[in-house]
Amino acid sequence: MQSCKFPRLVSTSKEARQASLDAEKMLDEHKSKCSMREDVYLVIKTFCDKKFMVQPEEQRFIDRLVKDYERKGLRLRPEMRGEAERLNARIGELCNVFQNNINEDESSLSFTVGELTGMHSDFIKSLNTGEDGKLKVTLKPIHYFPIMEYCKVRATRSAVAAARYRRCMKENTPLLEKVLDLRHKLARLLGYKNWAEYSLELCMAKKPEKVQEFQEKMVEHITPAALRELKLLQDLKEEEEGNSVVGLEDILYYIQKAERRMINLDINDLSQYFPVDTVTSGILKIYEHLLGLKLQESRSRHVWHEDVREYEVFDSEKKACLGIIYLDLFSREGKYNHACVVPLQPGCDLDDSCRQVPVAALLMNFTKSATNIETLLKHSELVSYFHEFGHMMHHVCSQASFARFSGLQVESDFREAPSHMLENWCYEKESLKMMSCHCKDPQKEITDGLCNLLKAKRKSFPALRALRNHLFLGTLDLILHTEEKIDTELLIKRLYPEVVLGMPMLDGTNLAASTLHLMSGGCDAACYAYLWSEVFAADMFETKFKGNIMNNIVGMEFRNKVLVPGATKDAVQILKDFLGRDPSVDAYLRINGLNQFDDL
């Protein structure tokens, strides 16, 4: 099924992307019909009720199947099931349109060189020139974030930020608000108070009240530190512009300036140490060593684009093939413009005692060098690459018997935790040296001093980043999926300053209209999960790996206790098995210099 949906994410052909979208609609319709098969449900329910002696994973699978059918409406009276099926189908259809609108968006702005003052010369060279002689800036991450961090012209930053937050606003705002309404109707039909209660039932948090409590406590404990961080930015802006009012369009720019002043680290110069091939080779070596794997590049070339590289993944001791992975690293027209891992085939046991190996593709959007010089990555791109590679290893290392529990199908509020933990390897000297060399002198390794500065940079402005990147979106998401009849634009205009220290949202924008996580299956009502996962990631790293990052005995314990189970166990049990105790929030708070509070 996934192979039919995949072309809409990677194909350069608009016709192929549309055909893929059409196929996805048909598959979703078929899946919806299968999920309403009363005859199948009754057979499984009868089997479950008879309490046969089965293996724990088999019992979990049976219980989950029953729950899946009942969450689709099979417990309802026959006359109500049709309504549940119609609502499910309509929600899926509108979500697909919403996501496709974002994927196909090619919005851009044009600027003179003067309006891009402060941007690195390589960035300027990478931009296309329009018929008017101006430089074309898209709203994709590869253009948006550099401009927000480095452009000295506030009007340019403001225009780019406003345009990005207006993306797909006209077509997607009504789609989003319609889906929210349909989700609430479906939740009530199924016996839940709201969509958040329905969505969180299968998560670690279980209930909206738990999520709200977590987020409110985090806001309470993060806000004092965030206010101190904001004061640093206000002082810096007052010094540079004579005006201390920091707006949304100023945050990343003045964080970058403050970091350069405090840490004296030039991110653009740092890129010289991260040629993409060296980074890739280092990532492979680290994961091989840590998890007891061997990744061997395939020469079959059964790939969808010439840039794609295929690898077979083997267990280094048993020599068995564990799976196949694809690296699709460079941006191109029509390609999905965010970093992600796409599971193309789940790992599972087959009827004939053979095993179906998992297959996954990693999609990045690095800017391919326009010259003969190898593509150089920013450190933030290296972190994203390493993080997503961790998701692939989770998918490939899983040894679930049933496809239903393969790899990344863990609870949505645990899915990011392993990869968040693995990001630590992007800040430690030993692993950084494995992933780097100077582009002009391969024998010249990154210095200990630069490694120390990177670690210091990671710890700068953590509270402000948490408020903006996680707690605002998590709070917005929870409100959207617990309350009804919401004007999303007005809600964001009110909520953003409430959460982010009084900072106003840009007028005439609606960032919800281009936020995929609000509409993606498994992410709806679960945007809190990013910060939630960071808490568990910090606990795992400090407890097991701190000062011990290349210990492959601990690495194998991580593989066997966290990655191998997939979704065959509850995530909280997986954490207990690895940590040897209940998980704690202390490590996250300690790392970020925040006050302690009672555990989750």
Residue whose entry in the numeric block shows the structure tokens 């060098």:
369
Residue 53 lies inside a defined structural domain of this protein = yes
For residue 340, what pLDDT band results from cuts at 50, 70 and 90? very high
**Tokens matching residue 221:** 């404990």
pLDDT at position 234, please?
A: 95
For residue 513, what pLDDT band results from cuts at 50, 70 and 90? very high
Residue 431 lies inside a defined structural domain of this protein = no
pLDDT at position 521, please?
A: 67
pLDDT at position 597, please?
A: 47
Residue 90 lies inside a defined structural domain of this protein = yes
- Is the pLDDT score of 28 beyond 90? no
Which of these, 205, 198, 30, 161, lies nearest to 507 by C-alpha position? Answer: 161
CA distances for 124 relative to 31, 152, 171, 595, angstroms? 47, 14, 31, 43
Residue 50 lies inside a defined structural domain of this protein = yes
pLDDT tens per residue across span 49-84: 888 889 999 999 999 999 999 999 999 998 899 899
Residue 80 lies inside a defined structural domain of this protein = yes
Does the annotation mark 388 as catalytic? yes
Domain span holding position 79: 2-103
pLDDT tens per residue across span 453-463: 998 888 889 99
pLDDT at position 595, please?
A: 59
The C-alpha torsion from 600 through 559 and 401 to 41, rounded to 10°, is 20
- Is the pLDDT score of 264 beyond 90? no
- Spatial separation of the C-alpha atoms in residues 227 and 219, rounded to whole Å: 12
Residue whose entry in the numeric block shows the structure tokens 């479950």:
48
The CATH number assigned to the domain holding 91 equals 1.20.1050
- Spatial separation of the C-alpha atoms in residues 457 and 463, rounded to whole Å: 13
Contact present, 7 and 19 (Cβ < 8 Å): yes
* 19 CB-side CA count, 13 A: 10
CA distances for 101 relative to 37, 175, 179, 193, angstroms? 32, 11, 15, 31
**Beta pairing, strands 359-366 & 321-330:** parallel
- Is the pLDDT score of 292 beyond 60? yes
Rounded average pLDDT over 177-202: 96
Helix (H), strand (E) at residue 294? strand 293-297
Residue 301 lies inside a defined structural domain of this protein = no
Whole-number percent of the chain with pLDDT over 90: 77
The rounded radius of gyration (Å) of the Cα atoms in the chain is 24
Residue 69 lies inside a defined structural domain of this protein = yes
- Is the pLDDT score of 593 beyond 80? no
- Spatial separation of the C-alpha atoms in residues 440 and 272, rounded to whole Å: 8
**Tokens matching residue 210:** 């738990």
C-beta atoms surrounding 329 within 10 Å: 21
Rounded average pLDDT over 135-151: 94
Mean pLDDT, all residues of the chain: 92
Among 4-18, 155-169, 298-312, the range with the most confident prediction by mean pLDDT is 155-169
* Close Cβ partners of 259 (under 8 Å, ≥ 6 residues apart): 265, 457, 460, 461
Which of these, 383, 267, 331, lies nearest to 126 by C-alpha position? Answer: 331
- Spatial separation of the C-alpha atoms in residues 205 and 191, rounded to whole Å: 19
Residue 91 lies inside a defined structural domain of this protein = yes
The C-alpha torsion from 435 through 439 and 445 to 449, rounded to 10°, is -90
Higher pLDDT, 33 or 522: 33
Rounded average pLDDT over 30-55: 90
- With 0-12 / 13-18 / 19 or more C-beta atoms within 10 angstroms meaning exposed / middle / buried, residue 56 is exposed
Total domains, the chain: 1
Catalytic-labelled residue, pool 149, 388, 411, 534: 388
* Packed helices 529-540 and 571-579: angle between N→C axes, nearest 10 degrees: 20
